[in-house]
């Protein structure tokens, strides 16, 4: 037998797994775009003056197997003790059915934000369940679909209170029993807005001098109190009352709505989402209906489709930054969709009785623990009653007890100098309780015998919750599994088709990258454990930071921001702090080009700056003359400019270095938005172009999945002079922007694994292929559609914009019609009407193969042919496949009275015959939904009708 | 009737001035889904943003065209924002101002000038 060795490398992650087109396919594609080789295309596309000098080099890339082995050795450096620290983070049991079917299921984690409702009905229903749960538990009738973390939610509630309050006061009261990280983040947010934060005891609240107040329930050290009187006093003075509440406690205690609160916030982490050294978790916010339009974040609402059937959608979109810009209610655009979905399913899985049982069991364990300590001679602060948290008076024994606790495998919380806080949770077992007693030198056995309840009667909850049938139907795992599957099947995620959303970088989230996320060593660490217990995390964070510095040309990274928008905000805060240090506090003007992401002006507004818009020229580039004029005009007050590179129009502008230089010459700092970093990695570095700070969307360029609308991570890179102005530790420092020091660190194994398996060369190749794929699509669609904004050599960067505006006149076809028709072809639409109204922005990423790109181009060309038929008068301008899109199974079986065939309607080019994706609803009516706001689960009859 | 460059119309009714937005504006905005009106009794200053309207496409602010006091608001709009689309210069009015300086209206366009502006 002869044996011919092959040069095929089956474990080459970069070229065989992550990058879509094969080398042979790339040759064919290069021929189509008219380039000799990939180097030639890249040289054509990127101006020479922006290219990075040295190639990116991370050493030899790891195979998947080697990566997982390496990851395990690093993970094992983390010491997983039982943490009873509490302070907003609690042990919880993730039901295995939810872990396997949601958290580890690409149908859920690779989906995008549900902006296209027809292909998102599954997760919209799951998020509506979450909203209904929050609304019921808090007793406030409108909830949003989650916020980044509890501390951010508190800060958002504070600014919302200022918007809705009729009081002119500039002070805001913060209960001293709020979690320290909540207070820290609110202080950061308040300062640039001129809000004075008063921290004190609710007994000392002077309602006349504040526009609002926030209280914590239970208090951070376990105190329970009724805030009804304080909130009534606030209302008498036109103020707003906010309660930050542990949702599990609300199954037993009087809810915020019953105390008169206008806004409730909190974290749903303990609803089955592991602590993960700080995140990600879903925070919640709920309010009265009359304040709904001032609530930040996304809200899922109920509307109808074109047949009048119930359909879900995101409501009140016009409050968002891409429309309101600097007048937006907040810069928040990421939610924590995947985690909110998990928390919602936790409630569906357990139902109201189950949640109440969990809360009662936690309380009984706390009672036993407290009784043991009291019998041992200790006193606790919460003599009147508690839920899950107690504070023990230990005098001068604090250090000794804390140390003995760690020796017994338990982390407790040192509070002040002479007390220790203990929070019991769902994971607490008898041996945990006994270990705590041993730390206090109390020798006894936990008999499981409960010494009664110690819940104050006056605070008992008297209203029902989770009464909707959805929280009662799916109790068996069989039913639950099928329910999760049904919802997943309604959605179109990356596990079915390319999601060519411009500016969103929907690339592969590989299985090997995802696996470590659910390992105990990463998922069970409390964010405030002693640093020596998190050595694995710190090793990973340090190494990933170094790699991100190499990629960007910056000197340091802060992992704290939990989203791109929060990164922008943190970056601008560091610039503001730098100016302040230099005695230039008056610098408050931010130059932002017209084509910037809407979050840019919203973020500038949040740091108290004035936005000055800079024009773009016909090619879509920054108008350099206008930039120079404005920079000079505002030189004395220039704080910063915010630019995106390559531009939001998908072009590598040659003038970027001049823009940075002009800004610096006029005393400003340069913020380069990293949203388009997927076009730069390995080829060009924002730090070299002249940037002082940038954020990186790890959920775009570095493979963290979008989760159906979150989680995200937006760490920032800065030059050396800004390092000391980075966000401080939320628990001990100042300037924090998130609740946890490293944001959502349990996501970092994904980005780290990506870098380790790709290597520097692989990352660079990914960028090159991303540019090739975009240029291939632009070339194939040329002639049929106009491609807007090419570079001087006729190339686009990693995305391209096609113009659909001419069809409005020629065929009465809108960008919406094309987007919905793409659903019939089995695709998620590209980004619609951004950054230019009436256009589609297409970003294929490097992960899509030639076959999938061709399927997409074939679909787009077929749609263009349909438009041509309308233009020629061959088909009706109002009753045609575009206007009636998307087509559902229901259309197919109804009487067919259309001037085109069922085949044409339902199976256009691109659509799979056997594996056809059927949207579950027809086109959703946005107007109806915004005029008839419903943001909780509709009555059960509607579900039954849908099933019939 | 007078018209502003911000597409608001003003009509004098006795001591009061009725204010709304033009049909051209409502057509541009598309279906209006929400209107937040000022409060009766508010004292407003010219160019203050006193009112918010939302359509499915955009959210816009309406500015006080003149100084004065809000004497009446069209609460029917709150229940049925579509009125602004259906009858922009009639039932779709927004608020009535008691002007403190009626001469502020002199600078605004007449119908012919406004039609020329939007043409």
- The 10s digit of each residue's pLDDT in A577-634 is 999 999 999 999 999 998 888 889 989 999 999 999 999 988 888 999 999 999 999 9
Q: Alpha-carbon distance A173 to A201, whole Å?
A: 9
Q: Alpha-carbon distance A440 to A542, whole Å?
A: 36
The whole model's pTM is what?
0.94
Nearest to B59 among A323, A927, A931 (CB): A323
Please indicate whether, in this complex, the C-beta atoms of A327 and B61 are within 8 angstroms of each other: yes
Name the token pair of A287. Answer: 């309010």
- The 10s digit of each residue's pLDDT in A208-217 is 999 999 999 9
Distance of CA A879 to the CA centre of its chain: 39
The residue in chain A having the minimum alpha-carbon distance to the alpha carbon of residue B55 is A318
The residue ranking higher by pLDDT, A535 or A10, is: A535
Q: Which of A289, A292, A931, A933 to mutate to test the interface with B (most CBs of B within 10 A)?
A: A931
B61 contacts in chain A (CB < 8 Å)? 327
Which helix (H) or strand (E) segment holds residue A602: the answer is helix A599-606
For residue A467, name the pLDDT band (cuts at 50, 70, 90): very high
Which helix (H) or strand (E) segment holds residue A514: the answer is helix A511-514
A837 part of contact set with chain B, CB < 8 Å: no
Question: How many residue pairs bridge chain A and chain B with CB atoms within 8 Å of each other?
Answer: 32
Interface of B to A at Cβ within 8 Å reads: 31, 33-34, 36, 52, 54-59, 61, 81-82
Give SS3 for A390. strand
Query: What average pLDDT score do residues A640-668 get?
Result: 94
For residue A431, name the pLDDT band (cuts at 50, 70, 90): very high
Please indicate whether, in this complex, the C-beta atoms of B56 and A293 are within 8 angstroms of each other: no
Strand locations in A678-770, DSSP E?
Answer: 693-695, 716-718
Bridge partners for A25 per DSSP: none
Task: Residue window 274-303, chain A: list those with CB within 8 Å of chain B.
Answer: 293
User: What sections of A120-271 are H helices per DSSP?
Assistant: 121-138, 150-164, 180-190, 228-236
- The 10s digit of each residue's pLDDT in B80-102 is 999 999 999 999 999 999 999 98
Q: Which of A163, A166, A925, A927 to mutate to test the interface with B (most CBs of B within 10 A)?
A: A927
Please indicate whether, in this complex, the C-beta atoms of B56 and A318 are within 8 angstroms of each other: yes
The residue in chain B having the minimum alpha-carbon distance to the alpha carbon of residue A928 is B33
Query: What average pLDDT score do residues A188-197 get?
Result: 96
DSSP 8-state assignment for residue A279 = -
Query: What average pLDDT score do residues A258-268 get?
Result: 98
Q: Alpha-carbon distance A209 to A8, whole Å?
A: 73
Please indicate whether, in this complex, the C-beta atoms of B59 and A927 are within 8 angstroms of each other: no
Q: Alpha-carbon distance A436 to A438, whole Å?
A: 5
Q: How many helices (H) and strands (E) does chain B have?
A: 4, 9
Sequence-distant (6+) residues with CB within 8 A of B80 are none
Q: Return mean pLDDT, chain A.
A: 94
Nearest to B59 among A324, A926, A931 (CB): A324
Q: Alpha-carbon distance A457 to A459, whole Å?
A: 5
Alpha-carbon separation of residue A277 from A117, A250, A529 (angstroms): 33, 25, 8
User: What sections of A194-326 are H helices per DSSP?
Assistant: 228-236, 321-324
Q: Alpha-carbon distance A103 to A179, whole Å?
A: 28
The end-to-end CA distance of chain B, in Å, is 18
For residue A264, name the pLDDT band (cuts at 50, 70, 90): very high
Q: Alpha-carbon distance A720 to A457, whole Å?
A: 57
* Cα of B34 to nearest chain A Cα, Å: 7
The residue in chain B having the minimum alpha-carbon distance to the alpha carbon of residue A325 is B59
Q: Which of A294, A318, A320 to mutate to test the interface with B (most CBs of B within 10 A)?
A: A318
Q: Alpha-carbon distance A538 to A532, whole Å?
A: 9
- The 10s digit of each residue's pLDDT in A869-906 is 999 999 999 999 999 999 999 999 999 999 999 999 99
- Cβ(A539)–Cβ(A74) below 8 Å: yes
CB atoms within 10 A of CB B57: 18
For residue A945, name the pLDDT band (cuts at 50, 70, 90): low
- Cβ(A283)–Cβ(A336) below 8 Å: yes
A322 part of contact set with chain B, CB < 8 Å: no
B54 contacts in chain A (CB < 8 Å)? 293, 316, 318-319, 930
User: If we measure between CA atoms, which residue out of A319, A477, A460 comes closest to residue A387?
Assistant: A460
A894 part of contact set with chain B, CB < 8 Å: no
For residue A318, name the pLDDT band (cuts at 50, 70, 90): low
* Strand A410-411 relative to strand A831-832, pairing: unpaired
Please indicate whether, in this complex, the C-beta atoms of B34 and A930 are within 8 angstroms of each other: yes
User: If we measure between CA atoms, which residue out of A947, A945, A938, A946 comes closest to residue A303?
Assistant: A938
Lowest mean pLDDT among A50-54, A295-299, A414-418: A295-299
- Rounded to whole angstroms, the maximal C-alpha distance in chain B is 37
Q: Alpha-carbon distance A220 to A725, whole Å?
A: 28
Name the token pair of A53. Answer: 């000098």
A898 part of contact set with chain B, CB < 8 Å: no
Tokens 């707003």 sit on residue: A240
**pLDDT recorded at residue A327:** 65
For residue A66, count CB atoms less than 10 angstroms from its CB and return exposed for 0-12, middle for 13-18, buried for 19 or more: middle
Query: What average pLDDT score do residues A461-470 get?
Result: 96
User: If we measure between CA atoms, which residue out of A253, A198, A246, A263 comes closest to residue A226?
Assistant: A253
The residue ranking higher by pLDDT, A293 or A374, is: A374
**pLDDT recorded at residue B119:** 84
Tell me: pLDDT of A824 over 60: yes
Q: Alpha-carbon distance A212 to A221, whole Å?
A: 23
* Cα of A831 to nearest chain B Cα, Å: 16
Please indicate whether, in this complex, the C-beta atoms of B81 and A931 are within 8 angstroms of each other: yes
Query: What average pLDDT score do residues A399-403 get?
Result: 98
Distance of CA A760 to the CA centre of its chain: 27
Give SS3 for B22. coil
Name the token pair of B101. Answer: 């300086």
The end-to-end CA distance of chain A, in Å, is 64
- The 10s digit of each residue's pLDDT in A515-568 is 999 999 999 999 999 999 999 999 999 999 999 999 999 999 999 999 999 999
- The 10s digit of each residue's pLDDT in B38-60 is 989 999 999 888 888 888 777 78
Name all contacts of A29-33 with Cβ < 8 Å and 24+ positions apart: A29/A772, A29/A773, A29/A776, A29/A850, A29/A853, A30/A772, A32/A776, A32/A779, A32/A780, A33/A772, A33/A775, A33/A776, A33/A778, A33/A779
- The 10s digit of each residue's pLDDT in B8-36 is 999 999 999 999 999 998 888 888 888 88
Name the token pair of A911. Answer: 């659509």
Please indicate whether, in this complex, the C-beta atoms of A317 and B31 are within 8 angstroms of each other: no
Strand ordering across the sheet containing A379-380 = A379-380, A389-393, A419-423, A413-415
ipTM above 0.90, yes or no: no
Tokens 């172009």 sit on residue: A689
- Most trustworthy range by pLDDT among A64-78, A585-599, A930-944, B40-54: A64-78
The residue in chain B having the minimum alpha-carbon distance to the alpha carbon of residue A837 is B57
- Cβ(A656)–Cβ(A671) below 8 Å: no
A316 part of contact set with chain B, CB < 8 Å: yes
A930 part of contact set with chain B, CB < 8 Å: yes
Q: Alpha-carbon distance B56 to A147, whole Å?
A: 23
The residue in chain B having the minimum alpha-carbon distance to the alpha carbon of residue A291 is B36
Please indicate whether, in this complex, the C-beta atoms of A930 and B56 are within 8 angstroms of each other: yes
* Cα of B41 to nearest chain A Cα, Å: 14
For residue A948, name the pLDDT band (cuts at 50, 70, 90): very low
For residue A947, name the pLDDT band (cuts at 50, 70, 90): very low
The residue in chain B having the minimum alpha-carbon distance to the alpha carbon of residue A324 is B59
Residues belonging to chain A: 948
Sequence-distant (6+) residues with CB within 8 A of A28 are A850
A164 part of contact set with chain B, CB < 8 Å: no
* Cα of A87 to nearest chain B Cα, Å: 39
Bridge partners for A832 per DSSP: A840
Which helix (H) or strand (E) segment holds residue A601: the answer is helix A599-606
The residue in chain A having the minimum alpha-carbon distance to the alpha carbon of residue B61 is A327
Please indicate whether, in this complex, the C-beta atoms of A318 and B58 are within 8 angstroms of each other: yes
Q: Alpha-carbon distance B99 to A20, whole Å?
A: 67
Nearest to B59 among A318, A926, A927 (CB): A318
Q: Which of B56, B62, B78, B85 to mutate to test the interface with A (most CBs of A within 10 A)?
A: B56
- Rounded to whole angstroms, the maximal C-alpha distance in chain A is 93
Tell me: pLDDT of A942 over 70: no
Query: What average pLDDT score do residues A501-514 get?
Result: 96
Which helix (H) or strand (E) segment holds residue A393: the answer is strand A389-393
Please indicate whether, in this complex, the C-beta atoms of A293 and B81 are within 8 angstroms of each other: no
* Cα of B82 to nearest chain A Cα, Å: 9
């Amino acid at each position: 037998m002869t044996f011919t060795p092959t040069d095929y490398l089956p474990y080459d992650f970069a070229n065989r797994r992550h990058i879509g087109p094969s080398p042979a396919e790339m040759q064919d594609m290069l021929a189509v775009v008219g380039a000799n080789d990939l180097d030639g295309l890249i040289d054509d596309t990127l101006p020479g003056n922006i290219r990075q000098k040295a190639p990116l080099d991370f050493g030899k890339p790891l195979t998947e197997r080697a990566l997982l082995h390496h990851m395990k050795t690093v993970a094992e450096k983390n010491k997983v003790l039982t943490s009873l620290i509490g302070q907003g983070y609690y042990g919880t049991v993730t039901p295995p059915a939810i872990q396997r079917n949601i958290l580890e299921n690409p149908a859920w984690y690779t989906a995008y934000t549900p902006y296209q409702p027809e292909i998102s009905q599954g997760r919209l229903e799951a998020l509506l369940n979450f909203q209904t749960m929050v609304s019921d538990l808090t007793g406030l009738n409108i909830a949003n679909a989650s916020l980044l973390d509890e501390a951010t939610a508190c800060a958002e509630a504070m600014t919302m209170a200022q918007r809705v309050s009729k009081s002119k006061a500039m002070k805001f009261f913060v209960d001293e029993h709020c979690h320290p990280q909540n207070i820290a983040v609110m202080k950061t947010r308040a300062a640039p807005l001129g809000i004075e934060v008063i921290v004190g005891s609710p007994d000392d609240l002077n309602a006349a001098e504040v526009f609002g107040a926030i209280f914590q329930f239970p208090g951070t050290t376990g105190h329970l109190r009724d805030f009804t009187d304080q909130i009534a006093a606030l209302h008498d003075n036109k103020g707003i009352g906010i309660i930050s509440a542990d949702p599990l406690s609300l199954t037993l205690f009087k809810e915020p709505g019953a105390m008169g609160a206008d806004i409730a916030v909190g974290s749903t982490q303990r609803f089955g989402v592991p602590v993960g050294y700080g995140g990600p978790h879903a925070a919640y916010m709920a309010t009265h209906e009359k304040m709904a339009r001032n609530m930040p974040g996304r809200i899922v609402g109920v509307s109808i489709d074109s047949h009048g059937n119930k359909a879900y959608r995101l409501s009140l979109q016009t409050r968002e930054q891409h429309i309101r810009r600097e007048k937006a209610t907040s810069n928040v655009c990421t939610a924590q969709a995947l985690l909110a979905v998990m928390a919602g399913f936790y409630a569906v899985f357990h139902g109201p009785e189950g949640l109440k049982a969990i809360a009662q069991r936690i309380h009984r364990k706390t009672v036993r623990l407290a009784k043991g300590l009291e019998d041992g001679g200790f006193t606790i602060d919460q003599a009147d009653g508690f839920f899950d948290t107690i504070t023990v008076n230990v005098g001068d024994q604090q250090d000794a007890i804390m140390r003995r606790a760690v020796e017994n495998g338990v982390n407790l919380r040192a509070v002040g100098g002479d007390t220790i806080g203990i929070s019991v949770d769902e994971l607490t077992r008898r041996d945990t309780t006994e270990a705590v007693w041993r730390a206090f030198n109390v020798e006894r056995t936990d008999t499981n015998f409960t010494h009664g309840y110690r819940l104050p009667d006056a605070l008992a909850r008297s209203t029902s919750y989770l009464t909707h049938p959805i929280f009662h139907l799916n109790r068996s795992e069989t039913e639950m599994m099928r329910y999760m599957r049904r919802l997943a099947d309604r959605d179109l995620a990356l596990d079915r088709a390319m999601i060519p959303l411009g500016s969103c970088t929907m690339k592969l989230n590989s299985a090997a990258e995802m696996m470590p996320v659910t390992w105990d060593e990463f998922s069970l660490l409390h964010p405030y454990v002693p640093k020596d217990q998190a050595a694995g995390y710190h090793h990973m964070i340090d190494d990933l930071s170094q790699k991100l510095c190499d990629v960007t040309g910056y000197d340091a990274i802060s992992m704290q921001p939990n989203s791109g928008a929060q990164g922008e905000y943190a970056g601008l805060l560091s610039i503001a702090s730098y100016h302040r240090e230099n005695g230039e506090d008056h610098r408050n003007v931010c130059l932002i080009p017209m084509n910037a992401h809407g979050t840019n002006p919203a973020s500038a507004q949040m740091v108290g700056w004035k936005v000055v818009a800079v024009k773009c020229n016909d090619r879509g580039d920054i108008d350099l003359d206008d930039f120079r004029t404005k920079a000079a005009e505002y030189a004395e007050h220039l704080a910063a400019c915010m630019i995106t590179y390559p531009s939001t129009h998908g072009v590598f502008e040659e003038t970027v270095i001049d823009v940075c230089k002009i800004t610096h010459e006029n005393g400003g700092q340069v913020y380069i938005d990293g949203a388009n970093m997927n076009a730069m990695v390995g080829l060009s570095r924002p730090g070299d172009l002249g940037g002082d700070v940038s954020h990186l969307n790890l959920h775009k360029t570095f493979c963290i999945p979008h989760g159906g609308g979150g989680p995200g991570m937006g760490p920032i890179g800065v030059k050396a002079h800004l390092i000391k102005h980075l966000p401080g530790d939320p628990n001990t420092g100042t300037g924090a922007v998130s609740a946890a020091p490293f944001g959502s660190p349990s996501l970092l194994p994904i980005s780290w694994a990506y870098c380790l398996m790709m290597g520097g060369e692989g990352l660079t190749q990914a960028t090159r292929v991303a540019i090739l794929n975009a240029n291939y699509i632009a070339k194939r669609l040329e002639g049929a559609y106009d491609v807007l904004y090419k570079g001087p050599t006729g190339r686009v960067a990693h995305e391209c914009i096609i113009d659909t505006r001419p069809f409005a006149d020629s065929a009465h076809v809108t960008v919406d019609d094309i987007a919905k028709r793409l659903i019939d072809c089995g695709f998620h639409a590209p980004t619609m009407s951004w950054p230019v109204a009436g256009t589609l922005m297409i970003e294929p990423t490097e992960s899509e193969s030639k076959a999938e790109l061709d399927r997409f181009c074939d679909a787009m060309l077929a749609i263009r042919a349909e438009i041509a038929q309308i233009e020629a008068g061959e088909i009706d301008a109002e009753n045609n496949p575009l206007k009636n899109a998307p087509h559902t199974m229901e259309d197919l079986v109804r009487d067919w009275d259309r001037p085109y065939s069922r085949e044409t309607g339902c199976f256009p080019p691109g659509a799979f015959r056997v594996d056809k994706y059927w949207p579950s609803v027809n086109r959703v009516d946005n107007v109806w939904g915004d005029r008839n706001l419903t943001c909780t689960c509709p009555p059960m009859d509607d579900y039954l009708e849908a099933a019939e | 009737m007078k018209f502003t460059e911000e597409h608001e119309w003003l009509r004098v009714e006795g001591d009061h001035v009725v204010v709304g937005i033009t049909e051209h504006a409502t057509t541009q905005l598309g279906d209006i889904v929400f209107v937040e009106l000022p409060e009766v009794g508010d004292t407003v200053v010219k160019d203050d943003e006193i009112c918010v309207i939302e359509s499915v496409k955009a959210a816009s602010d309406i500015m006080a065209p003149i100084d004065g006091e809000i004497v009446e608001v069209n609460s029917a709009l709150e229940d049925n924002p579509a009125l602004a689309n259906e009858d922009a210069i009639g039932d779709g009015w927004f608020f009535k101002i008691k002007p403190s300086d009626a001469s502020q209206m002199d600078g605004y366009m007449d119908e012919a000038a406004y039609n020329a502006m939007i043409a």
